Chains A and B, each alone.
Chain A
Amino acid sequence: MLELKNLKLSYGSTQILNGVDLSVKRGDVVSIIGPSGTGKTTLLKCINYLVKPASGTIGFDKLKMDYQRPDNTAIQAIRLRTAMVFQQFNVFKNMTVIQNVMDPLVVVQRKSKDEARAIALQELDRVGLSDKLDSYPSQLSGGQLQRTGIARALAVKPDVMLFDEPTSSLDPELVGEVLRVIKDVTSSGITSLLVTHEMQFAKNISNRIVFMDRGVVAADGSPTEIFDAPSNPRLAQFLNSELAIQ
């Protein structure tokens, strides 16, 4: 349902994406792993056109777009059918928890306040924030902020969930609560793309693992293929160093 072809992007003279190909089928849970600075986050942001690739194409079901000819209708259509969870949470600081979840429904989807509220209550219950509805972001822990972010993303009923290192800026003791929620989301059958450094978690929840290295997809396979029998030497080296830390 989602197909990226030959994505290229550079910041100044630094090449970040060097011809990335990635296709995701409906119902896939794909984890993207790899060393820092290899373009994992950038790749995710390209899907929502938050960064602008120099070249490449994106296909989303029947939609097709060439990044050299950006098309606002296609960009907006893809944004409306995906939802993103960010490393830095990026909840709206001027809104309460429930307002964060309701606002996109009211502003973008033009739902009535009552309808938006009903959906928000449901999603916030799912992420375990029913007791924090009227709290402002400044009053919440990182784990609660991220769960707000996840509820906000779920509420728009996306076809694809994009998780960008959702636990990387959390205190270690808060990682668990967020991973539990993500596991619940991905096991519900929604197509998901997850950039993560939590190797064990990626192995457990994904049906596919993509290893990115130096701006390209260097290995792509089932969790067993990637973790238990890494054929790529860079991948083996990366896994060794990651596992040495964990």
Chain B
Amino acid sequence: MFDSEVLLPDLWDILGAVPVTLTMALAIFVLSTIVGSLFAMVEYRRVPVLRELVVAYKVAFKGVPMVIVIFLAYYGLPPALQFLASLIGIEFNGHATPNWVTLIVALTACVSAFQAEVVKGALNSFDTGQADAAYSLGYKRSQLFRRVMLPQVIVAAIPDLANSFMVIMKALSLGFAIEVVDIFAQSQLTAALNFYYLEAFLIAVVIYMVIAYIVTHGADRVEAALRART
């Protein structure tokens, strides 16, 4: 029923997918945080028109299941890229786009909608009294942002950002649908060779848990260290 003999070789097999998974997660995390921050700034500063577009974007990408977005990107992105490249006169075979790129684009598009809320919440937690003080002392808006606001907003956002990273880690398992091999997909593939499914997925669970522990614990410590200073 349960064979502990296969655990070790399976572990090595599945561990092989960890670096790729983490790298993709990190890429999506960084990109979606940048895009989400831009969205949040648009809403925070109440930029007309763009603000409505951001709201529409968030409704779309928070509402549609990620797996659908992944398929849409899989079928839609290569021809779209090819078309765009041809517009500026570049010969480009869109269908040569690697699937992992498609996955990163699709998940970044989805997660950005959530990151926008994370950053917006952190921005809203900043008390405007400090802004009054800065302006009354002659700070320009950019100086207020850089010197006072940003350092506080980052600390406020850390717990939710760590959350987002774990959401991305798990969402990457949807990449199996377009043949991108992450921790989950590698477990599936490993098990398919020897039929020890329970063992392979157990190992996947342990790996996911270790990563979750490191991310959560790390974020807590960074936050505590910075929080002492605010």
CB of B173 within 8 Å of the partner chain = no
Whole-angstrom distance from the CB of A13 to the nearest CB of chain B?
Answer: 22
CB of A128 within 8 Å of the partner chain = no
The answer on a CB contact under 8 Å between A156 and B137 is yes
Per-position 1/0 for A123-144, Cβ under 8 A of B: 0000000000000111000000
Q: Which of B126-144 contact A (CB under 8 A)?
A: 127, 129-130, 132-139, 143
CA distance A88 to B133 in the complex (A): 10
Stretch binding the partner chain, chosen from B3-11, B80-88, B145-153: B145-153
Q: Which of A156-211 contact B (CB under 8 A)?
A: 156, 162
Residues of A contacting B228 in the complex (Cβ-Cβ under 8 angstroms): 136, 138
CB of B45 within 8 Å of the partner chain = no
The answer on a CB contact under 8 Å between B137 and A104 is yes
Q: Residues of A with Cβ closer than 8 Å to B? A: 45, 48-50, 76, 79-80, 82-84, 86, 88-95, 103-104, 107-109, 136-138, 149, 152, 156, 162
CB-CB nearest in chain A for B154: A94
A-B pairs with the 3 shortest C-beta distances? A90-B133, A90-B129, A94-B151
Contacts beyond the supplied A83-B137, A92-B133, A109-B138: 19 A-B pairs with Cβ under 8 Å: A45-B132, A50-B132, A50-B135, A76-B138, A82-B136, A84-B132, A86-B133, A89-B129, A90-B127, A91-B133, A92-B130, A92-B148, A94-B148, A94-B151, A94-B229, A104-B139, A108-B143, A136-B230, A149-B133
A-B contact pairs, 25 of them (CB 8 A): A48-B135, A48-B136, A50-B132, A50-B135, A79-B138, A80-B138, A84-B132, A86-B129, A88-B127, A89-B129, A90-B127, A90-B132, A90-B133, A93-B130, A94-B148, A103-B147, A104-B137, A107-B139, A108-B138, A109-B138, A136-B228, A136-B230, A138-B228, A138-B230, A156-B137
